[in-house]
Each structure stands twice: as structure tokens, then as C-alpha cells.
Chains A and B, each alone.
With several copies, the nearest count.
Chain A
Amino acid sequence: MKMVTAVIKPFRLDDVRDALSELGVKGMTVTEVKGFGRQKGHTELYRGAEYAVDFLPKIKLEVAVDENLLEQVVEMVVSAARTEKIGDGKIFVTDIEEVVRIRTGQTGAEAL
């Protein structure tokens, strides 16, 4: 079991979700985050006090997937999230040792 964690631009979320659903992914968890990276932020100015805001709104998507789907999922996310402009984000793949579905107690692939 792998966890695919993608940090993407907020307005790509719907496309990514749809793409993953098509692949048969049944669930995912989404967090509003702030990203710092190459993409530059903006400045804000209040009564002459100017300051830079380097953190940009991003969406972090976490999808637990079976190993055999991994490659497809990563590709799907890449193609659905890509705008080819700076700040499109990253995908991180990590290993999951165990998954449990709380409602049923099922574990492993069944739990997804």
C-alpha cells in the first residue's frame, strides 16, 4: 500500500478528483495548505507597512492506493494538475504499513 501525497494548485482539485475517480480510486483526503517554493508570492500593504507574503494557497491531496495502481495514479495526478506554469506542485510517494477501515475494521486493500 502506498500513500500518494500531492501538493497542487487549488483550482485543479476538481479535475484531479475526477481523473482519480475514473481510475477507480474510491476515496481521498484533502487539506488546505500554504506552499513556499519557486513561485513568487505577493506583497500586502497596510498604511505604509509593506510586507511580502511568500506562502501561497495550495491543496494537499492524500490518496492511499494499492501498489499496482500507483504508477497510474501518479501519472493521472500529474496530467490533471499540470498547468505548465511555475508552482504546479509536487507528488510524494511514501509507504503505508497498514490501513484500517474504522467502520468495519477491514485492513489492507479491502480497507480502501
Chain B
Amino acid sequence: MTTTVITRKRLLLKGENVTARLGLFAALLLGSSGARADELNTGDTAWMMTATVLVLFMTIPGLSLFYAGMVRSKNVLSVMMQCFAITGLMSILWVFFGYSIAFGNDGPWWGGLSKAFLKGVTVDAMTGTIPETVFMTFQMTFAIITPALIVGAFAERMKFSAMLWFMGVWVLVVYAPICHWVWGGGWLGSYGILDFAGGTVVHINAGMAGLVAALILGKRQGYPDTAMPPNNLGYTLMGAAMLWVGWFGFNAGSELAADGVAGMAMAVTQIATAAAALAWMFSEWVVHGKPSVLGIASGAVAGLVGITPACGFVGPMGSLVIGIAAGMLCFLASTKIKRAFGYDDSLDVFGVHAVGGIVGAILVGVFAAESLGGAGLAEGVSIGQQVKTQLIGILATIIYTGIVSLIILKVLDRVIGLRVTDDDEAQGLDITAHSERGYNLTS
């Protein structure tokens, strides 16, 4: 059963015969009735609607709070606003074009426009055992959170209008195609990359785009000399908690069914996250003398990121190693390496999402091996070969998103300008971009 499960998501979308993968329960039904394999299963549907809700919950309120707590109080609303507006805009663009580009047809590069404006996504359309409407909405929540993750990289200095333009273009020309490559029947999926829930598609992609944006926008005024203490670490920790909670929809939901693989995805997600939270906390305790709230929260997110590509393929002990590795390496990336290079990735989108995604995307090639407790690699594929495949997927993602994000940003900078004025930055974006104040606690 294992090897088939591995590719569930990809295969479903490539229209291959999925009967074998539906498990005994479905087989039983099929056997006794001769029904087609795309019969609606209420349990799978119940889980996938729940999973969709959970992934939306990750972005709003989860990610919004996680990010909003880390900026200075004069920008607390601006970050939340960006996440919220992205949620609105991506939903519409996904319906218009994104879904079709990602999941229309299965050419190597993009899915075409045959499903643009949700053509054919009717109340009866099915994706495997669930309604296609649910699959479309589930995937939409991924297309929402990925751009929203990037917000952290340029927080406290980007123009709201430029942000909207960037994200709107980016989701169509960067996110949707990469999503197609890996999950929509495109070349990376065919090539054999393992990415259960979005190590390349979501995290490396967002992390790299974030780095490019941080470099092009330049540092915040006063960085790194001025203290820029988080305005509300309680928000950040609660946001991390909501990300953790919601991430089960992201990871176990990526199975598109309520089955044993989903159950294992849930278990290993919990293990890796716990391990990474502790790994970052103890690393910091050793290096800086104290464990911190920001540290443990960041560690949990690093673990969630790290296990994302791996969650349907590895076993408990594999997830433990992935969690520890993600926690420690993201800690180094976000504290030491960032400081060494001097770029201003405000909230460490690169250090957590790109680095954590890379750690997970490589290690899944190792721990998916049956000998290491995983679900097993494809027949005849060695760990070394799988890791090579993974590296190619990682590189392809980094190069494509890096270059195209750069182009979009450069063009926008020329046309409308990316950065707010110095005065607006000093006064804060809440007042200058939105005419509102975040806290007004004395009236």
C-alpha cells in the first residue's frame, strides 16, 4: 500500500487509476456495487472541509498574529491588513485563473486556462472521493498562505498598493506554475519529487521570494543598530499556536482523505514540530543563556515547515530527526547567518521558511526509505537518487521564483515604486497607509 500512497496527490490529479489506493473500505463498497472510484466519501469530504477551514485559519488569524506581534506597534495593523487583503485577492485570482493554471490540464509547465473562472467545477464534479469544489477551495487556501508568508520579509516598509500588485502577479506567474509542476501533473511531479504538502511549492518558494523582496526593498531605517523590539510577543506565540493547530489541515489534509496516511501525517507533524520547538529553545538557551518565547515560537514554525514536504512519507523517528534539524538550522539561519550577511528579512521568512523547507525537502529523500521507517521510495530508487531528485526540485524552485520575483519587483519599482517615504516609515504604516492606530488603550 505504501508506495501507492506516496503519490496519492499527484496521481489523483494525473488521472491515473486510483482504485488501488482507496483502501479496503472503498474497495468493499466498490466490490459490492461496481460504483466508479470517484464516488463521494462523506468521511473524506468531512475531513477535507475541515482541513480547508484549518488552512484558512493558519493565515487569518494565525499568521497575521504571528507576524503582527513581531513588528513595532506603529506597524501592527499594517501587517495584519496585508495578510487579510492577500486572503481576499488571492481567492478571487485563484477562481479566475490560478486554479486552472495549477490544476487545469497536465502539461509539463502549466495547466492552461480550461478551468478558468471555475469552468466545469460544478456541484457534482469530483476529485477522487471528494467534491472538486472542496479540492479547489483547499488548494485556494494554499495559494493564500504562500504569498502571505512573504509579507514578513518586507514588513514595515512596503507600499500597500505595490504589495497588492506584486502578490497578484506573483501568485499567477510564480505560485500557480510551480504548484502545477509538483502537484498538477507537471514535470517535477513526473520526475519523482516527493513533496507531500508543500516544501518546495509553498515554503522554499515563499522564503526565496521573501529574500529577493527584502534585498530589493533594502533595510528598514535604523536596521540593525536601532532596537526594534516586537510589540506583542503574546500575539506572536498565539499566532504560532494557531499555525501549529491549523497546520494539521495543511499536512494531513494533503492526503485528500481521512485514512491511515493522513493519520500518520498528523502524528509526524506533531512530533517534528515539538522536536523543532525544543531544538530551537535549547539551542538558544545554550548560545544566549536563556530560552525565549520568540525562539520557541520560531522553532515550532520551523518544525512545521520542515515536516511539510515529508509528512506523508516518513515515520515517527524520521520526523523527530527532521524536527531537530529544522529547529537547529533555522535558528542558525535566523540569528547568525542573517546577521553575518546583513540583509533585513524583517521577520525571517528566508531563515525559517526557505531554510526549513530545504531541510525537509532533502531529508524526506532519506527518511521516506522503508528501512528508515518511511513509507518507502518508488521501486528501484535509492536514497541517493531520491535526494538528487529532491535537490533538483529545490534548485528549480529557487531559481524560478528568485528570477521571476526579481523581475516583477523591478518592474513595479519602476512603475509605481515599492517603498513608502522615509517620513511614512518613521511615523509607521498604520497611520500613514491606513489612517488607523493599532492600540488606543486609554479612552
A residues lining the B interface (CB < 8 Å) = 10-11, 14, 32, 42-51, 57
What are some 11 contacts across the A-B interface (CB < 8 A)? A10-B442, A11-B426, A42-B427, A44-B437, A45-B288, A45-B292, A46-B292, A47-B298, A48-B335, A49-B224, A49-B227
Q: Determine whether the beta carbon of B227 is less than 8 Å from that of A42.
A: no
Contacts of B334 in A (CB 8 A): 47-48
Contacts of B388 in A (CB 8 A): none
B residues lining the A interface (CB < 8 Å) = 224, 226-230, 288, 290, 292, 294-295, 298, 334-336, 338-339, 348, 426-427, 431-432, 435-437, 442-443
Provide the bound-state CA to CA distance between A48 and B226, in Å.
14
Provide the bound-state CA to CA distance between A47 and B431, in Å.
15
Contacts of B295 in A (CB 8 A): 47
Select the residue from B224, B294, B334, B435 with max chain A CB neighbours within 10 A: B435
Provide the bound-state CA to CA distance between A90 and B297, in Å.
41
Q: Determine whether the beta carbon of A51 is less than 8 Å from that of B227.
A: yes
Knowing A11-B426, A50-B288, A57-B442, the reply to whether A44 touches B431 (Cβ < 8 A) is yes
Contacts of A10 in B (CB 8 A): 442-443
Contacts of A45 in B (CB 8 A): 288, 290, 292, 435-436
**A44-B227, A49-B339 provided; 18 other pairs, C-beta below 8 A?**
A10-B442, A14-B226, A42-B432, A42-B435, A44-B229, A44-B431, A45-B292, A46-B230, A46-B294, A47-B294, A47-B298, A47-B334, A47-B335, A48-B335, A49-B224, A50-B288, A51-B229, A57-B442
Q: Determine whether the beta carbon of B294 is less than 8 Å from that of A42.
A: no
Give A36 Cβ to nearest chain B Cβ, in Å.
15
Q: Determine whether the beta carbon of B435 is less than 8 Å from that of A44.
A: yes
Provide the bound-state CA to CA distance between A45 and B432, in Å.
11
Q: Which of chain B's residues has its CB closest to A43's CB?
A: B435
Provide the bound-state CA to CA distance between A44 and B428, in Å.
13
Give B64 Cβ to nearest chain A Cβ, in Å.
19
Select the residue from A32, A43, A49 with max chain B CB neighbours within 10 A: A49
Contacts of B336 in A (CB 8 A): 48
Q: Which of chain B's residues has its CB closest to A85's CB?
A: B423
Q: Which of chain A's residues has its CB closest to B436's CB?
A: A44
Q: Determine whether the beta carbon of A47 is less than 8 Å from that of B348.
A: yes
Contacts of B432 in A (CB 8 A): 42
Give A79 Cβ to nearest chain B Cβ, in Å.
20
Among candidates B228, B339, B426, B431, residue contacting A48 with C-beta atoms closer than 8 Å:
B339
Contacts of A44 in B (CB 8 A): 227, 229, 431, 435-437
Q: Which of chain A's residues has its CB closest to B293's CB?
A: A46
Q: Determine whether the beta carbon of A32 is less than 8 Å from that of B442.
A: yes
Provide the bound-state CA to CA distance between A46 and B231, in Å.
12
Knowing A11-B426, A32-B442, A57-B442, the reply to whether A46 touches B288 (Cβ < 8 A) is no
Provide the bound-state CA to CA distance between A109 and B21, in Å.
85
Closest 3 CB pairs of A and B: A48-B335, A51-B227, A45-B435
Give B373 Cβ to nearest chain A Cβ, in Å.
33
Give B417 Cβ to nearest chain A Cβ, in Å.
21
Provide the bound-state CA to CA distance between A43 and B335, in Å.
17
Provide the bound-state CA to CA distance between A74 and B432, in Å.
33
Contacts of B339 in A (CB 8 A): 48-49
Provide the bound-state CA to CA distance between A47 and B334, in Å.
7
Provide the bound-state CA to CA distance between A46 and B288, in Å.
10
Provide the bound-state CA to CA distance between A11 and B442, in Å.
11
